């Protein structure tokens, strides 16, 4: 049998899974999400095509997603029940299993950069809350007023969720939205989900994975989801694959979804698509969890799987055209 062509580099990105279905998004929203995903995938792929590392490609692509109010990460993140933004992110290098993560940031513009800085600058893997923010500041990472993250759409979604839960609505923390709310108004409420993630393969043959999120709307008590947890929402090993997840974090944590997929590839030598399907369509669905994953193996196999109506996603590889999809019935 002829050997499969191994692309020199590849990248897969997601912007969250959930109630993403034809008819639920307007044509403007559909076009805005497709445009954003293609810009991000191209920006990441340019880094890889120029010989940059998978880690650099991931940070570049996720910073763009964090700045885009369409996605629940960085600007445009969802609110906690107290009306705050608490941002989580993680990144992992499959070459040497180096990993960094942050949870509960509220003034660092790019949580993914803070997560990456944890690797070299802290001697730890996961930093949380005020300590994480102090660390990010000490590393010179850009700080912003919490109002920077505010979007009207996410605030309304908090009000709806709190009313449904019968919880009090906190006072609106910020003034009227800024002029560029135009784009933020296109943000689609995916229901409970929406997170961003990127997996990449570089020309040196290394894979890496990164994930960034505002978590879940109306989260309480310092809740932390799967996104900043290495093994749950993010994992990468050159011996297996790189994985980034989105969905109901509580289920992803309990299954160790990202590491579980990696282990199926590493120990069972399972094909990547079979591995992601087994965990998402099999284990996650059986446990009652909703969401999706993207994955990439060092031999260039790319895969995604989700059990929601849709997932914002894109893939591109050397020699292969960019593919951007939103709905279940697309590639
Ligand atoms: N997995 C994220 C969390 O639980 C949310 C999401 O992906 O929508 O925090």
Residue-range domains of the chain with CATH: 11-254+287-327 (3.60.20.30)
Q: Angle CA(132)–CA(135)–CA(136) in degrees, nearest 5?
A: 90
Q: What pLDDT, in 10s, does the model give residues 77-117?
A: 999 999 999 999 999 999 999 999 999 999 999 999 999 99
Looking from the CA of residue 192, the nearest atom of ligand 1 is 8
Q: Maximum Cα–Cα distance for the chain, whole Å? A: 65
Residues near ligand 1 (Cβ within 6 A): 16, 193-195, 213, 215-216, 225-227, 233, 246-247, 249
- Are the C-beta atoms of 291 and 252 separated by less than 8 Å? yes
Give the residue, by CA position, lying nearest to ligand 1 atom 5: 215
d(CA 320, CA 220): 43
d(CA 180, CA 202): 35
Give the residue, by CA position, lying nearest to ligand 1 atom 8: 193
pTM of the complete model:
0.95
Mean pLDDT on 245-258: 97
- Short-list 283, 236, 281, 278, CA closest to 255: 283
**Tokens encoding 211:** 């994930």
Q: What percent of the chain shows pLDDT beyond 70?
A: 95
Whether 308 is catalytic is no
Looking from the CA of residue 250, the nearest atom of ligand 1 is 4
d(CA 207, CA 227): 18
Residue 5 CA, ligand 1 centroid: distance in Å: 34
> What DSSP character marks residue 287?
H
As a whole number of Å, the end-to-end CA separation of the chain is 26
State which of 111, 216, 253, 306 you would mutate to test the pocket of ligand 1, scoring each by most atoms of that ligand within 8 A of its C-beta: 216
């Amino acid at each position: 049998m002829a050997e499969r062509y191994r692309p020199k580099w590849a990248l897969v990105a997601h912007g969250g899974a959930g109630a993403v279905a034809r008819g639920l998004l307007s044509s403007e929203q559909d076009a805005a999400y497709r445009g954003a995903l293609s810009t991000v995938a191209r920006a990441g792929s340019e880094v890889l095509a120029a010989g940059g590392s998978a880690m650099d490609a991931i940070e570049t692509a996720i910073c763009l997603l964090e700045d885009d109010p369409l996605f629940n990460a960085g600007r445009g993140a969802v609110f906690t029940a107290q009306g705050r933004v608490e941002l989580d992110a993680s990144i992992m290098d499959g070459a040497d299993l180096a990993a960094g993560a942050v949870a509960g940031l509220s003034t660092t513009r790019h949580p993914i950069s803070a997560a990456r800085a944890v690797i070299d600058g802290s001697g730890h893997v996961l930093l949380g809350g005020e300590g994480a923010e102090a660390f990010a500041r000490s590393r010179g990472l850009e700080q912003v007023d919490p109002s920077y993250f505010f979007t009207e759409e996410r605030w309304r979604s908090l009000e709806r969720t709190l009313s449904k839960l019968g919880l009090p609505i906190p006072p609106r923390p910020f003034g009227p939205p800024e002029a560029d709310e135009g784009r933020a108004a296109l943000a689609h409420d995916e229901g409970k989900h929406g997170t961003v993630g990127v997996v990449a393969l570089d020309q040196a043959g290394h894979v890496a994975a990164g994930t960034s999120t505002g978590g879940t709307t109306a989260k309480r008590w310092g809740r932390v989801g799967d996104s900043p947890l290495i093994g749950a929402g993010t994992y990468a090993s050159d011996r297996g694959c790189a994985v980034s997840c989105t969905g109901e974090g509580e289920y992803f944590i309990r299954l160790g979804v990202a590491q579980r997929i990696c282990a199926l590839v590493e120990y069972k030598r399972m094909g990547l698509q079979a591995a992601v399907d087994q965990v998402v369509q099999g284990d996650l669905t059986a446990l009652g969890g909703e969401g999706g994953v993207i994955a990439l193996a060092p031999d260039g196999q790319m895969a995604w799987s989700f059990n929601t109506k849709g997932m914002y996603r894109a893939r591109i590889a050397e020699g292969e055209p960019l593919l951007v999809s939103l709905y279940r019935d697309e590639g």
